[in-house]
Amino acid sequence: MTNIAPFHLAIPVDNLELCRTFYRDVLGCKEGRHDKLWVDFNFFGHQLVIHYKPKEKLELSNTNPVDGKQVPVPHFGVVLSWDNFQELASGLKQKNIAFIIEPYIRFEGLVGEQTTMFFNDPSGNTLEFKAFKDINQLFAK
């Protein structure tokens, strides 16, 4: 898995400065290039760009049932090592992040056992972070 190419993802935010602070100070992402209407971040080795877009209307969230929980769709995030996940989860709890789904172990004892958590950025973009007990099961059936 050491040859994984970084992805690029651009997402809309309705408050550039609030989200800039969230990704930089809450998640610890290093800020890169920026302009008046966008900011690049090193999102755990990937390129995330937040673009200012005025809020047009409140959209209802869609969910899918997974492991007895309602998982928000769409969402994005990264797969971390087990230890890095625990460290991030602990830091988010200390910063009083409101979780949509609190950190927990999913598919316990089954193929693909993982720990996961869901929360929103200040503009309502849903993030999922996860870690696998055995990273070789990332794509296992």
pLDDT tens for each residue of 61-80: 688 888 888 998 999 999 99
Is residue 60 predicted with pLDDT exceeding 90? no
| Residue 1 covered by a domain | no
Amino acid identity for residue 20 in this structure? R
Same domain, 71 and 39: no
Residue 34: give its domain's CATH number. Answer: 3.10.180.10
Same domain, 109 and 74: yes
pLDDT tens for each residue of 30-56: 999 999 999 999 999 999 999 999 887
Per the structure, the complete domain to which residue 110 belongs is given by 65-137
Same domain, 40 and 96: no
As for how many domains the chain has, the answer is: 2
d(CA 111, CA 2): 22
Same domain, 44 and 97: no
Same domain, 72 and 111: yes
| Residue 35 covered by a domain | yes
Question: Left if phi > 0, otherwise alpha if psi is -120 to 50, otherwise beta: which for 49?
Answer: beta
Same domain, 93 and 123: yes
Query: What pLDDT is attached to residue 94?
Result: 97
Same domain, 39 and 72: no
State the average pLDDT over residues 104-118.
94
Query: What pLDDT is attached to residue 31?
Result: 97
**How is the beta sheet containing 8-13 ordered, strand by strand?**
8-13, 46-52, 38-43, 30-34
Amino acid identity for residue 111 in this structure? V
Tokens of 88: 């991030």
